[in-house]
Amino acid sequence: MDQSLTSHAGLLAWVEQSAHLCKPERVHWCTGSDDEAQWLIATMVAAKDLIPFNNDDWPNCYLHRSNPNDVARVEDRTFICSQSKEDAGPTNNWMAPDEAKKLLYGLFEGCMEGRTMYVVPYQMGPVGSPFSKVGVEITDSAYVALSMRIMTRMGTVALETLGTDGAFVPGLHSTAELDPEKRYICHFPEERLILSINSGYGGNALLGKKCFALRIASAIARDEGWLAEHMLILELEDPQGEKLYFTGAFPSACGKTNLAMLESILPGWTVRTVGDDIAWLRIGDDGRLWAVNPEAGFFGVAPGTSEKTNPSAMETIRSNTLFTNVARTDGGRPWWEGMGPASKWMTDWRGNHRPGQDLEGGKFAQPNSRFTAPAKQCPTISPHWEDPQGVPISGILFGGRRNDTMPLVLEANSWEHGVFLGATMASQTTAAAGGAQGVLRRDPMAMLPFCGYHMGDYFAHWLELGKRIPNPPKIFHVNWFQKDDDGVFLWPGYGENLRPLLWMRERILGEGKAIETPIGTVPTPDALNLDGLSLADGVMERLLEVNHDRWAQECDAIAEHFEKFGDKLPTALSDELAALRKRVG
C-alpha cells in the first residue's frame, strides 16, 4: 500500500524516522491482500526462506527454519522499560527507558541496509469491536509480515480503524544479525512502544502477540480498568442448545489449544473455540465479564499434536499454514514427534537428511516447533468468535502441570480465593521458553513472562476488578497431569477433559455434587460423568485427593513465592494463605 493512502501524520512521521534510522533499500506498506501474500511467499521461496510442502496433501503450506540459536521466547533478554524499576516488579527484567533506547537504537542504526522494510498495520480484536486496538509493526522480515497477516487483522482494515488521528502501538523489529548476545525484546509500557532486535522467532518477532496483546495491553488494561490475559476462550453447548463460556489460563504448551478445540466425547454436548491463547476481558453493561479473542490465528506448538490428541487442530493446519522448525518427509509432508509413524527418510528441522529411525541425531522437529494457521479454518470455531461485544464468561480456569498435590478439579470459595489460586499456580516448565524443562515454577495466572508491570499491582487489579463485577464468573483450578508412582498419567486427558468441564458447568448452575476441603470445593468421586470411561479402582479418589502433608509444604512454598512481592502483595492474598494454613492444620 502506498503511504499516500493514509494521512495519519503520527504514523507517517514514525515510519519516516524508522526508515532514516534503519536505512532500508525499500519500504513496503502491507495491505493484507491475497496478491501481496502470494508475492511475499514467492519472494521467500526464491530466497529459500520458505520451503513448500506437497501441495496436493498440504495446499499452500510452507516450512520456515529459524536459526538454531533462535527457537523460543528468551525471557532473560526480555525487558520492561518502565520509568521506575519498582513499576516493573521483581518478576520482570528492567532496563531504564533512556538506556534501552540508546542501546537498541544503536543496534538498529543501518540494520536494514539492502533489505525491505515492511510497514505492517494490524488490528488486535474483531472489526468494529470497542475492545479492539491498533498496532503498527515495522520489520525487515517477510516471514513476520506473512505471519502477522495470519495472526491479526492486518493491512488496510487496520488503517481504516486507525483513521487520521487514532492511537496505535508502534513496534520496531529487525532480525539484524540474529546475534543472541545482542538480542533484546523491550517494552515501554508508559509510551506503549515495543523494540525487538536480533530474533526472528514468533514470540519475540510477531509483536502483536505476547508483546502487544499481553505485556503492553496488560498495562493499558490496568489503566483503563479491564484485563488482558494469557487465556483460551471456549464455548460449551448442552444438548438443549444452551451455551456457557469459559476462559482458561495455562502456561505455554500445557494444553490450552487442546482444551480450546476439545472434541466432545459425550453425545449432545458440543465444545467450540473462541480463542486458544489470549483473552481481553471487560465488564459488560449487564454486570457480567465479557471476553474477546484479540487474535485472528493460532500459533500452536506442533510436537504432540495429532489426530488422536487434537483432530480439530490437525484439520485447521491442513492448508494455508506456516510451519516453523518442523521436519519434512521425503514425500514433502510436515512431521513432528507425536504426529504419527516416522517416514523412512526425513529432513530434520536443522536441514539434515537422515533415516526416520535415526534417533541418535536428535529430535526431527524442534521441541518448540510451531504452526501458524488462520482461526477461521478451525472446524470447531464458534460462530461468535468475532462478535464485537465478545462472549459472556461464566467460569475461569487456572491450571498447570503438577505431578501431584493439585487435584483434577477444584472450585474456589470466592473471587478472592480464586485470585489466590491463580496467583499461586505452579507448573513444570516446557520447551516454549528457553531454559531447563520439567522444573516446577510459580507462574501466576500463566502471566509470569507476560505481565507488563509489577505483579503485586496486577494481583491488586484482579481483586479490585472483582469488586466491580456484579455477576462475577466462578473460578476453578484444574490439573490434568497427575502421575502415579510409576510416572504414568492418572487421567487420560484430551477429550476426556470434557467431564470435569461438565462438573464446573453444574457448579455454575448451582448443581453438582461436591465436598468442601481445606483447599476449596472438589467433586465427590461419583460426581463426574464417567460414562464410557474405565478407570482403575481408586484412581478417581486419588485424582481428587487433598493430602494435608503436601499442602503444608505447599503453604511454605507459597509463602516463599509471596515474599518476592514485598509490601506490594495485597493483604487479601496473605490473608488467604493464613486461612489456608489454618484449614490444612
Per the annotation, binding residues for Mn(2+) are 210, 230, 277
Buried b (16+ CB within 10 A) or exposed e, 279-302: bbbbbbeeebbbbbbbbbbbbbbb
Helices (H) and strands (E) in the chain, counts: 16, 32
Q: Which residues are annotated as a binding site for substrate?
A: 73, 201-203, 252, 368-370
Name the 3-class secondary structure at 298: strand
Helix (H) or strand (E) holding 279: strand 279-283
Sheet strands side by side (includes 51-52): 51-52, 62-64, 322-324, 370-374, 297-301
Spatial separation of the C-alpha atoms in residues 193 and 200, rounded to whole Å: 19
Lookup: cell for 106: 544503536
Name the 3-class secondary structure at 464: helix
Exactly one of 254, 378, 451, 555 is catalytic; which is it? 254
Amino acid at 512: G
Q: Which residues are annotated as a binding site for GTP?
A: 253-258, 370, 401, 494-497
> Which residues of 20-132 form beta strands (DSSP E)?
26-29, 51-52, 62-64, 78-80, 93-94, 116-124
Spatial separation of the C-alpha atoms in residues 184 and 107, rounded to whole Å: 10
CB 119 within 8 A of CB 30: yes
Q: Is position 254 annotated as part of the catalytic site? A: yes
Three-state secondary structure readout of 432-449: CECCCCCCEEECHHHCCC
Matching residue, cell 505452579 = 426
Q: Which residues are annotated as a binding site?
A: 73, 201-203, 210, 230, 252-258, 277, 368-370, 401, 494-497
Closest CA to 70 of 200, 236, 253, 230: 200
Q: Which residues are catalytic?
A: 254
